[in-house]
């Protein structure tokens, strides 16, 4: 009862505050297919989740769709901002590995391995992006966002086991449009601006140019590390000398971004449309892992007792000593997170009388250059410059028939060719060798790696109208995928000759084949009421962990390779628009089983990262969505969701957390108690919840827009989100528990009724909760793993979601 009181007070106070504030009314892009009825009632959002145009209420899929108005009003310009608007979607930004973990309904791929593709796929203008570095991309000037929950087998290039986020950027419209937007975010002291020009050159060709630039003069977290002394020992003569590691910038990440897109839409004939997009992103930032903070098993950090732990939105990071620049692969001084990407996308559509042929071709490449302080503990000593590059070409061609008779078909073919290059130079524990070449003198070891991949996939679906209101669909996707990977550690400091292997090349060729079926039956009781039941499967191929470490415990690289991840299960849903389309009431139930869940973890005994497949897991639950827009009060929309989800391992022999005792389930010699094995300490995680899997998530909010005169309009909005507790670690680390929390978002806007100008105040996470989204043990902390009594638990890095942000934004449209 007390929690509900706080919830209600927060909603009431935000409403009163926002009504007293100024606000912004965003314009509707010219190319959108959505509209808000002037006389009130619910907005009708059109989606293309099944590669055909359907209402969000008619489609037999659990989907959260955001219209252009919602995207602009709430500044959904990054995937992290999207997660705050989407129940059961949790995104963890990371300094290492893939750069991020995206999880849906408690299913996701942890971030420590760059070789694991995400269980939640990101689709941009019809093109599959599976890597976590897509988090660095900026998304603006959008036509729509669709978040699809559960396995997705048929419609998004490669499969996705947990869900998909489909993002459509805006196209040129039939009328000229010029937009300028400027804003300032007070917490990070960030200035940003956008410019969009959409011009119909003639009745056959349109051009749209969009540009966004931003610069942080501050940051989201405060670095409170002191300057520290970094002692190095020369492996050639055991002499030592001290270097100075200065504290990194006080404010992090101090990012500068530049994002641009050019779109050409050509319609030479009534039947043929060709849309070409050229996009680029340049991001320059400070410390990777700026959102990391230290959570300790005691009041102070184990490696540095002078350091207090657990302060909100603070971190402890030092720059590498000046002497290390050029001697460790570091490309420039300090800590940095530089990201560059480029892509072109061509969508060709040919419409015939009874069929539509679509071809989407895409080339994209990105490069991430980072240098992170992985000690993050005020004592310096672990810096890892990383150069990670990825490029891919993909092409998908499909045909969808639309005959008048009951049976139609969807079919197509998908191809992707990709290449990843990943190199790390690791510095720690004072390793130094004066006799080594300058580029590696201060290295402990380095490790270049690469993977080439090719995917061939065919898919088909039969769409059968059994009756005018009853539809049965059935289909499958066949996938054939090959991967060729190489790894070597060409240099290892003499101090670590018995810990890491030098010049033991690993080469692996992998081949994967899969059939993923899908079937759905849908019944429309009326134009506003839909009932459906679906059997769905999902698949993600295995691969190679390019960011692993080679040790004598695994000279052939068996721990580098991992198998496929699969999902199958059922979903039922009821969707309705009631009371003359004033009330939306949707409810979904689901149950899915996952086998081979891909996980990556650190083995402190053998000092290596291991990528394996969990035995199996299951998630099941129900989701309720309610939205009310009374016609007697046009402009008012009240909304709420309630989600129950239980996600847990069924069978998974996973790693112990550091300091876990035998009584707590840690088995020192592995599952068979065989002392002759060299297995790390393991635990049975069957029955334990997966990472980032709160049982309950609820939201409540409203938007109200009204005309105060013929020329002036005001709008306010407020949204409260509640999450029950969960563990942010895949391995049930006790310290990684995130307690239940409530967050508040709110906005206010004022502008002209003709949408010529608008001013807005947008606030997110106004309760300023530090929300844990990921965690892993810190090297050199904790002890006694697998012993009878256990030892000291580890200190660990916690990755957190965004802190409170408040931004003032002005938009002008001509």
Taking only the tens place, the pLDDT of each residue in 80-124 is: 888 888 888 998 888 777 778 889 999 998 788 888 899 999 999
The kind and range of the H/E element at 93 are: strand 89-93
pLDDT of residue 32: 38
303-310 mean pLDDT: 78
- Full-model pTM: 0.90
Distance CA 15, CA 123 (A): 35
**What token pair was written down for 452?**
């080439």
Neighbours of 441 (CB within 10 A): 21
Distance CA 484, CA 22 (A): 57
Phi, psi of 19 (to 5 degrees): -65, -30
With 70 as the cut, is the pLDDT of residue 8 above it? Answer: no
Distance CA 353, CA 723 (A): 50
Counting Cα atoms < 13 Å in the Cβ hemisphere of 431 gives: 24
Q: Answer whether 677's CB lies under 8 Å from 670's CB.
A: yes
**What token pair was written down for 349?**
């559509």
Provide the pLDDT confidence category of residue 605 given band limits of 50, 70 and 90.
low
pLDDT digits (tens, 9 = 90+) for 379-419: 667 889 999 999 999 999 999 999 999 999 999 999 999 99
Three-state SS at 6 = helix
pLDDT of residue 677: 46
pLDDT digits (tens, 9 = 90+) for 216-226: 999 999 998 88
716-735 mean pLDDT: 93
Q: Answer whether 314's CB lies under 8 Å from 293's CB.
A: yes
pLDDT digits (tens, 9 = 90+) for 63-85: 888 888 888 888 888 888 888 88
Classify residue 404 by burial, with Cβ atoms within 10 Å: 0-12, 13-18, 19+: exposed
The kind and range of the H/E element at 402 are: none
Angle at the Cα of 250 from the Cα atoms of 248 and 253, rounded to 5 degrees: 80
pLDDT of residue 311: 78
Rg (CA), the chain: 27
- CA dihedral of 403, 409, 410, 411, whole degrees rounded to 10: -120
Q: Answer whether 713's CB lies under 8 Å from 751's CB.
A: yes
With 70 as the cut, is the pLDDT of residue 438 above it? Answer: yes
pLDDT of residue 668: 64
**What is the fold of 2-813?**
Maltoporin; Chain A (2.40.170)
Provide the pLDDT confidence category of residue 281 given band limits of 50, 70 and 90.
very high
Q: How far is CA 196 from CA 29, 142, 184, 212, 262, in A?
A: 11, 11, 18, 9, 10
Q: How far is CA 742 from CA 7, 349, 717, in A?
A: 7, 45, 17
pLDDT of residue 696: 97
Cis peptide before 253 (omega within 30 of 0): yes
Instruction: Please list the residues that pair with 715 across neighbouring strands.
Output: 705, 749
Distance CA 450, CA 544 (A): 9
Average pLDDT, the chain: 87
Residue entry with tokens 């996938």: 479
Neighbours of 706 (CB within 10 A): 12
Provide the pLDDT confidence category of residue 11 given band limits of 50, 70 and 90.
very low
Instruction: Please list the residues that pair with 809 across neighbouring strands.
Output: 183, 760
DSSP label at residue 250: S
Closest CA to 21 of 801, 716, 743, 731: 716
185-212 mean pLDDT: 96
Burial track 757-791 (b if 16+ CB lie within 10 A, e otherwise): bbbbbbbbbbeebbbbbbbbbbbbbbebbbbeebe
Distance CA 559, CA 545 (A): 8
With 90 as the cut, is the pLDDT of residue 591 above it? Answer: yes
Closest CA to 613 of 627, 625, 601: 601
Q: What is the DSSP string of 199-243?
A: EE-SSSEEEEEEEEEEEESSEEEEE-PPPEEEEEEETTT--EEEE
Domain ranges of the chain: 2-813
Residues 6+ apart with CB under 8 A from 558: none
Q: Answer whether 73's CB lies under 8 Å from 66's CB.
A: no
With 70 as the cut, is the pLDDT of residue 669 above it? Answer: no
367-374 mean pLDDT: 90
Distance CA 774, CA 691 (A): 8
Residues 6+ apart with CB under 8 A from 18: 716, 717, 718, 746, 747, 748
Angle at the Cα of 256 from the Cα atoms of 252 and 259, rounded to 5 degrees: 140
The kind and range of the H/E element at 79 are: helix 79-83
CA 618 to chain centre: 21
Distance CA 55, CA 332 (A): 51
Phi, psi of 110 (to 5 degrees): -70, 160
With 50 as the cut, is the pLDDT of residue 675 above it? Answer: no
Provide the pLDDT confidence category of residue 331 given band limits of 50, 70 and 90.
low
Instruction: Please list the residues that pair with 610 across neighbouring strands.
Output: 601
353-378 mean pLDDT: 89
pLDDT of residue 94: 81
With 50 as the cut, is the pLDDT of residue 24 above it? Answer: no
Closest CA to 7 of 715, 791, 743, 802: 743
362-372 mean pLDDT: 93
306-325 mean pLDDT: 85
The residue ranges of DSSP E strands in 629-711, in sequence order, are 636-651, 653-655, 666-667, 682-684, 696-707
Sheet holding 796-800, edge to edge: 292-295, 796-800, 772-777
pLDDT of residue 12: 35
Of 275-279, 293-297, 787-791, the range with the lowest mean pLDDT is 787-791
**What's the residue count for the chain?**
814
Residue entry with tokens 């198998």: 563
Provide the pLDDT confidence category of residue 463 given band limits of 50, 70 and 90.
very high
Burial track 510-542 (b if 16+ CB lie within 10 A, e otherwise): bebebebebbbbbbbeeebebebebebbbbbbb
DSSP label at residue 274: E
Distance CA 10, CA 775 (A): 29
């Amino acid at each position: 009862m007390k929690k509900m009181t706080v919830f209600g007070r927060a909603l009431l106070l935000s409403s009163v505050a926002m009504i007293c504030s100024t606000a912004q009314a965003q314009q509707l892009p010219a190319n959108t297919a959505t509209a808000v009825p002037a006389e009130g009632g619910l907005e009708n959002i059109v989606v293309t989740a099944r590669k055909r145009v359907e209402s969000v209420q008619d489609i037999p899929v659990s989907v959260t769709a955001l219209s252009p108005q919602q995207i602009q009003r709430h500044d959904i310009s990054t995937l992290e901002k999207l997660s705050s608007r989407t129940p059961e979607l949790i995104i963890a930004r990371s300094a290492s590995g893939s750069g991020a973990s995206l999880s849906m309904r408690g299913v996701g791929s942890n971030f420590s391995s760059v070789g694991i593709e995400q269980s939640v796929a990101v689709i941009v203008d019809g093109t599959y992006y599976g890597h976590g570095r897509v988090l660095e991309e900026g998304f603006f000037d959008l036509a729509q966002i669709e978040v699809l929950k559960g396995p997705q087998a048929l419609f998004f290039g490669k499969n996705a086991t947990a869900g998909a986020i489909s993002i459509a950027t805006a196209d040129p419209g039939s009328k000229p449009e010029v937009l300028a937007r400027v804003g300032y975010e007070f917490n990070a002291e960030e200035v940003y601006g956008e410019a969009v020009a959409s011009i119909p050159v003639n009745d056959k060709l349109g051009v749209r140019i969009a540009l966004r630039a931003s610069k942080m003069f501050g940051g989201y977290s405060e670095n409170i590390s002191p300057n520290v002394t970094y002692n190095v020992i020369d492996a050639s003569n055991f002499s030592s000398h001290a270097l100075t590691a200065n504290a990194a910038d006080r404010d992090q990440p101090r990012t500068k971004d530049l994002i641009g897109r050019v779109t050409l839409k050509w319609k030479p004939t009534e039947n043929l449309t060709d849309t070409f997009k050229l996009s680029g992103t340049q991001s320059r930032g400070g410390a990777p892992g700026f959102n990391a903070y230290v959570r300790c098993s005691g009041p102070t950090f184990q490696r540095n007792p002078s350091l207090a732990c657990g302060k909100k939105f603070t971190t402890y990071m030092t720059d590498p000593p000046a002497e290390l620049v050029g001697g460790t692969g570091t490309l420039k001084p300090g800590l940095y997170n530089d990201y560059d990407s480029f892509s072109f996308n061509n969508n060709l559509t040919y419409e015939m009388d009874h069929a539509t042929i679509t071809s989407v071709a895409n080339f994209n490449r990105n490069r991430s250059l980072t240098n992170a302080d992985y000690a993050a503990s005020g004592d310096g000593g672990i810096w890892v410059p990383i150069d990670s590059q990825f490029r891919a070409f993909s092409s998908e061609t499909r045909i969808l028939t639309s005959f008048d008779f009951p049976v139609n078909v969807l079919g197509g073919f998908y191809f992707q060719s990709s290449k990843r290059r990943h190199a790390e130079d690791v510095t720690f524990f004072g390793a130094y060798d004066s006799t080594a070449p300058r580029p590696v003198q201060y290295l402990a070891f380095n490790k270049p790696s690469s993977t080439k991949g090719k995917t061939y996939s065919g898919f088909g679906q039969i769409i059968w109208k059994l009756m005018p209101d009853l539809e049965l669909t059935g289909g499958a996707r066949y996938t054939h995928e090959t991967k060729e990977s190489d790894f070597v550690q060409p240099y290892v400091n003499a101090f670590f000759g018995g810990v890491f292997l030098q010049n033991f090349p690993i080469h692996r060729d992998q081949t994967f084949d899969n059939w993923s079926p899908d079937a759905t039956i849908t019944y429309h009781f009326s134009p506003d009421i839909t009932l459906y039941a679906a059997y769905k499967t999902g698949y993600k191929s295995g691969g190679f962990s390019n960011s692993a470490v080679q040790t004598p415990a695994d000279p052939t690289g068996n721990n580098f390779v991992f198998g496929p991840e699969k999902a199958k299960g059922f979903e039922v849903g009821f969707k309705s628009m009631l009371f003359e389309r004033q009330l939306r009431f949707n409810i979904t139930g689901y149950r899915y089983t996952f086998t081979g869940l891909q996980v990556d973890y650190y083995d402190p005994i053998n000092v290596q990262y291991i990528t394996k497949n969990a035995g199996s897991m299951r998630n099941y639950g129900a989701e309720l969505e309610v939205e009310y827009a009374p016609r007697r009060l046009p402009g008012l929309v009240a909304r709420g969701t309630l989600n129950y989800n239980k996600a847990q391992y069924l069978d998974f022999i996973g790693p112990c957390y550091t300091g876990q005792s035998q009584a707590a389930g840690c088995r020192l010699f592995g599952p068979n108690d065989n002392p002759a094995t060299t297995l790390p300490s393991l635990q049975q995680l069957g029955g334990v919840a997966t990472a980032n899997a709160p049982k309950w998530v609820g939201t409540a909010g409203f938007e109200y827009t009204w005309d105060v005169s013929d020329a002036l309009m005001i709008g306010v909005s407020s949204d409260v989100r509640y999450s029950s507790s969960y563990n942010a670690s895949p391995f049930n680390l006790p310290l990684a528990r995130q307690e239940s929390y409530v967050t508040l978002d709110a906005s206010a806007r004022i502008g002209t009724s003709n949408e010529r100008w608008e001013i807005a105040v947008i606030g997110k996470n106004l309760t300023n909760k530090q929300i844990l989204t990921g965690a892993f043990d810190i090297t050199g902390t904790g002890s006694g793993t697998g012993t009878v009594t256990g030892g000291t638990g580890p200190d660990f890095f916690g990755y957190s979601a965004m802190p409170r942000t408040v931004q003032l934004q002005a938009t002008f449209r001509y």
